[in-house]
Amino acid sequence: MRGLHLTADLRGCAVTLPSMTDPQALRCLCLSAVRAAGLQPVGELFHRFGAHGAPVTEAPADAPSGVTGVVLLAESHLAVHTWPELGAVTLDVYVCNLHDDNSRRAESLMATLEDAFGAQHAERHRVQRGRLAETVGAAAAGSPPPVPSPATRSRAD
């Protein structure tokens, strides 16, 4: 259960980009980026929200509406959330690295999407997932588990 989880909070995105407000445009962008990164889409869902999160049917026609899109990957998932009224986008890419190391593919996907939104500012996070499983597995095999750092300790610690 090893994996890489990448997130990015983007600000200063071009609000006139179709992918900020149009589910079909965001879908095309995401699926193209997923395939270009060498990852395998196996499912998807894209949804447009009304102004301030209201259902689309209640939003004024000229109000900017954000989109949430999720692509289920054979390797894990991609999630994208747009806020055109804030010029903001959040990106979430998670890949499992059980049989193959998909880290470079995840990084490529993230870079492609960041570039596509043309953000002026980005806050990025990178989390290696699955270390607890390795620790538990080592203990079950009779090896003493390594002492986790404070950043990786669970509530049970």
Catalytic residues: 76, 81, 96
> Alpha-carbon distance 84 to 129, whole Å?
31
Do the Cβ atoms of 66 and 85 come closer than 8 Å?
A: yes
> Alpha-carbon distance 5 to 126, whole Å?
6
> Alpha-carbon distance 83 to 20, whole Å?
7
